[in-house]
Structure 1
């Protein structure tokens, strides 16, 4: 089963969401509750820790619906330390995820900021051997890939050739104001690269990482153009993946729901289910 659009957050295990997304004192089955509402998740843990054990992967599969999609990241050891010098390491990582292959969205190849045009042969070598039944998405951060010049054109041609999606990192909201008196916003501005947004679908599953502000209206203003773009891609038969962050992620579930409601007002997308934590609160 394929959904017209997948909506998710940067993680599912966040105790700050107890009492809203999750029941107040939830400690277990967070993934089950998460997947009852959202249809995808960024697998950031694999970026730092590598592939989970087979038993863990099997447990995740059993806790989620078949339509749910995991979008794991290649480990930093492969993308940042080895700088894609060993493509076989990426294949070994994908093989280790076999229990979840049927529930995998685009695996994200997040490249370091100094991975530039001269490193492109390494990316091409990896994409050339990437398993065709597993989608992938590439996130670049080198400034040369945002100048609309020869380097960016070559990158986009490469991604189109291998049906690899280009990750669109939208950091405009989080940099919309100064971070005075807001440690959470200051941390987000330090952590995220301040790069231009280039909206381009190079394959069938566009990936958008929307890094929101603490201010709800700022997020809504920047999301307005995405409503039209996402609707267009869906009408073209593409399957977008939209991941919503906020500066400190405490309010990411509520923000994702609010933005999604604006999207559903312009499309035939189904409404989200109620948050388990809110349903529990209604009982008391």
Structure 2
């Protein structure tokens, strides 16, 4: 979708477990980004939260990512999770310079704030946002003071609305509706926040993170809700971003396809997600 009505993707592209389901069995790690961009037009920037890429890596990404592709690069944790945001403005600028070769493909930047970031720290956030003036930005909050429909939430939403910054919506309801002994599910439930759903559209680029259950069909009632919401946003002229997870992300591409197929029924004319170009040995295995 070079000129897409919305962006859809997964938490990453370098999953070895996606061989045969998305990539050929013999796919090299260095080829996965190119294969991924043949199917999806966006990816979450989780990798940059944990470690800054080398400049040579960014240059390689710039050579592979199509111009229409979107990489929602997440500010590193030592910026977002290490005390007063105002003390990390230089580090934030250095991070932006590192990603500069990607140009408009880094859009929007994501600032994921920890649960310890409370409403009384909104002033820090305002200064941080203002220092990034001109850059598309989306913020994810996890402190319950931003979800009680009280003064803290109103101040946050007003700040983001006034500055043209999006509020990322995390929907972990499917994950926490699951009762399982699967270690992957238990690990995800221990790490992902259990916060109320806030389907915000403060800008023209709403952001949705959907944390699904491992049984794909068990997500359908939640998928239906989001397909209706995303279709409505698109009809309003907005360009939503939707990222789909599963507990271990092995089935994330399948869940993304499932979402897109449902959206196609609501938006006639929306094209199918393409399959990646794969070698003849894959076709012979009946994997296409």
TM range (shorter): over 0.9
Q: 1:280 to 1:130 in 2, by over 3 A?
A: farther
The 2-side partners of 1:35 and 1:234 are apart by 22
Residue 244 (structure 1) shift: 0.4
Residue pair 1:8, 1:39 contacting (<8 A) in 2 also = yes
Indicate if the aligned counterparts of 2:23 and 2:35 stay in contact, CA closer than 8 A: yes
- Alignment equivalent of 1:107, drawn from 76, 87, 109: 109
Most deviating of 192-201 and 266-275: 266-275
Match of 2:48 in 1: 46
Structure 2 contact 41–70 (Cα < 8 Å) conserved = yes
* 1:109-128 equivalent positions in 2, closer than 5 A: 109-128=111-130
Give 1:82 deviation, angstroms. 3.2
CA RMSD of aligned residues (A): 1.5
Match of 1:146 in 2: 147
CA distance in 2, matches of 1:20, 1:215: 16
Unaligned runs of 5+ in 2: none
Q: Secondary structure at the match of 2:168?
A: strand
Counterpart check, 1:78 vs 2:101: no
Matched residue, 1:273: 274
Q: Which residue of 2 aligns with 1:61?
A: 62
Q: 1:279 to 1:68 in 2, by over 3 A?
A: farther
Alignment-derived partner of residue 35 in structure 1? 37
Q: CA deviation at 1:279?
A: 7.4
The count of corresponding residues between Structure 1 and Structure 2 is 281
| C-alpha distance after superposition, 1:151-171 (max 9, x if no partner) | 101100000011001000000
Structure 1: tracts of 5 or more residues without a match: none
| Structure-1 residue corresponding to 2:177 | 176
User: Paired residue for 1:238?
Assistant: 238
